[in-house]
Amino acid sequence: MTRDDDLVAAAKAGDADAWRELYRAHAGRLLVWLEHRSPTDTAAHAEDLASETWLTAARKVSGFHGTSEEFAGWLFGIARKLAANARRSSGRRRTSPSETIAYDADRAIPGPETSVAGDDWVRAALAVLTPRERDVVTCMDVVGLDSAATAEALGMTAVAVRVTRHRALKRLRACFATA
Amino acid sequence: MSTDPIERLRVDVPTLEPDPALLERLVAESTAGASGVSILPRPLLAAAAVAAIAVTAWGVAQVPKGGEAPAPAQRSTRPSPSPDREGGVGPTPGASTGPGAVVHPGATTPDSAGDTDTSPTHVGGSPAVGGPGYSGGTPPATGAPDQASSRPGTSGGPDRRGRSGDHRDTGHGRHKGERNGGGHARDNGGIHGGPAGATADRREGGHATP
């Protein structure tokens, strides 16, 4: 069983500085990851999901054991499950306007979130991948998680993560070569 | 500048500062989670819910025992409609005599009085067939040939009884007559009864004929 480092132990005890440090380390890439893994979701939806993810993590942090780097994979796993739940519930309610209003990068009005959302070129490149490949590439090559944290976040084995990433990068290179 | 396009996927991740309200909630949630206060009541809550459901189900199961009293009452009241049905079925052949005879068995209407002339003739003609033809299902007391013959209205012919005979007797007798032979009722309805009685008799005679 992995021992907690000082930062995670302090966060479990309810230390505000520890939580601020964890937030600074992971909140930015969590938001980028949520915005890139599902292009049809709005930025506001990603921010809501990120906030809910942090609250859920704080509620369940007592059951987490690991370092602050492993905390990233655990946090991303919570976000993935919350996003899946939100997608299912919105599909039942059918209140999402994504079916009628398609995302158009040319007509999008740049706002303050574009600095977080990153380049639209990345979105277009990731659009050729399958959802599973997009998740892996976004975790490892867009926001910079390692393979172990990516596996923890996506519920996959490290080997499956490496194989999926290899296929995804091969497809991306082929796509870039033809473009 | 990098030539590998894959390296262009990397996004400069900004460093975000937590909102004070969010940070306060994070601290509160983590403290509550560490104390385990929110974990312990869950099994207790589940046990209490199960116990409440069990008590409610047991209570609901006890209630119908007190409510079973009306059931025998319904059974006891079942035979009572049969006399009414008998009384109602008796004149029901009044359908053959016209709409006025359906109202009361004892009432004497001109149509029924007219029919009484014909019905005893049939009963007297064939008394043995009286019982089983009742459509009400309950055989009438007068269904036996002996009883039917002992009645004043049925023992004699229509000429002896007169036109103001007992309507009940005439109703039964009429009914017997219809059941005894559709052909008789048809003929007599055509002679003594009105057009409605004639059609009804034909209808009943048709039913009995097969």
Would you say A79 and A49 are in contact if contact means Cβ atoms under 8 Å apart? yes
Provide the sign of the torsion angle of the four alpha carbons A148, A150, A155, A156, taken in this order: negative
Residue B22 is assigned to a structural domain of this protein: no
Query: Would you state the pLDDT for residue B204?
Result: 44
Would you say A42 and A34 are in contact if contact means Cβ atoms under 8 Å apart? no
The pair of three-digit structure tokens given for residue A32, joined into one six-digit string: 């980028």
Does any CB of chain B come closer than 8 Å to the CB of residue A174? no
Chain A residues closer than 8 Å to B34 by CB: 12-14, 61-62
| pTM of the full structure | 0.49
Query: Would you state the pLDDT for residue B98?
Result: 45
Does any CB of chain A come closer than 8 Å to the CB of residue B10? yes
pLDDT per residue as tens, chain A (179 positions): 556 788 888 988 888 999 999 999 999 989 888 888 765 555 557 888 899 999 999 999 988 888 888 899 999 999 999 988 888 877 666 555 555 555 555 555 555 444 444 466 777 778 888 888 988 998 898 888 888 999 999 999 999 999 999 999 998 888 877 76
Q: How far apart are CA A92 and CA A94, in angstroms?
A: 6
Chain A residues closer than 8 Å to B42 by CB: none
Of B15, B17, B33, the CB nearest to A60: B33
Of B10, B14, B23, the CB nearest to A141: B10
The answer to whether the Cβ–Cβ distance between B30 and A61 falls below 8 Å is yes
The answer to whether the Cβ–Cβ distance between B33 and A62 falls below 8 Å is yes
Mutation target among B11, B16, B40 for the A interface, most CBs of A within 10 A: B11
The answer to whether the Cβ–Cβ distance between A19 and B15 falls below 8 Å is no
Residue B68 is assigned to a structural domain of this protein: no
Of A24, A59, A118, the CB nearest to B29: A59
| Size (chain A), residues | 179
| Size (chain B), residues | 210
Residue B81 is assigned to a structural domain of this protein: no
- Name the band, by pLDDT with cuts 50, 70 and 90, for residue B77: low
Q: How far apart are CA B165 and CA B116, in angstroms?
A: 7
Q: What ipTM was assigned to the predicted interfaces of this complex?
A: 0.73
The residue segments making up the domain with residue B167 are 87-208
Angle, CA of B87, B92 and B96, to the nearest 5°: 145
Residue B42 is assigned to a structural domain of this protein: no
Number of domains in chain B: 1
Provide the sign of the torsion angle of the four alpha carbons A120, A124, A125, A129, taken in this order: positive
CATH of the domain spanning A6-178, picked from 3.20.20.70, 1.20.58.1610, 1.10.1740.10, 3.40.50.1220: 1.10.1740.10
Chain B residues closer than 8 Å to A14 by CB: 27-28, 30-31, 34
User: What DSSP letter does each residue of A22-70 carry, written as one string?
Assistant: HHHHHHHHHHHHHHHH-TTS-HHHHHHHHHHHHHHHHHHGGG--S-HHH
Q: Using one digit for the tens of pLDDT, what is the confidence trace for B101-151? A: 444 454 444 444 444 444 444 444 444 444 444 444 444 444 444 444 444
Does any CB of chain A come closer than 8 Å to the CB of residue B30? yes
Instruction: Give the closest-approach CA distance of A60 to chain B in angstroms.
Output: 6
Q: Which residues, at least 6 apart from A78, have a Cβ–Cβ distance to it below 8 Å? A: A53, A56, A57, A60
Does any CB of chain A come closer than 8 Å to the CB of residue B9? yes
Cα Rg of chain B (Å, integer): 42
- Name the band, by pLDDT with cuts 50, 70 and 90, for residue B45: confident
Does any CB of chain A come closer than 8 Å to the CB of residue B16? yes
Q: How far apart are CA A137 and CA A144, in angstroms?
A: 9
Q: Using one digit for the tens of pLDDT, what is the confidence trace for B80-108? A: 555 444 444 444 444 444 444 444 454 44
Query: Would you state the pLDDT for residue A71?
Result: 92
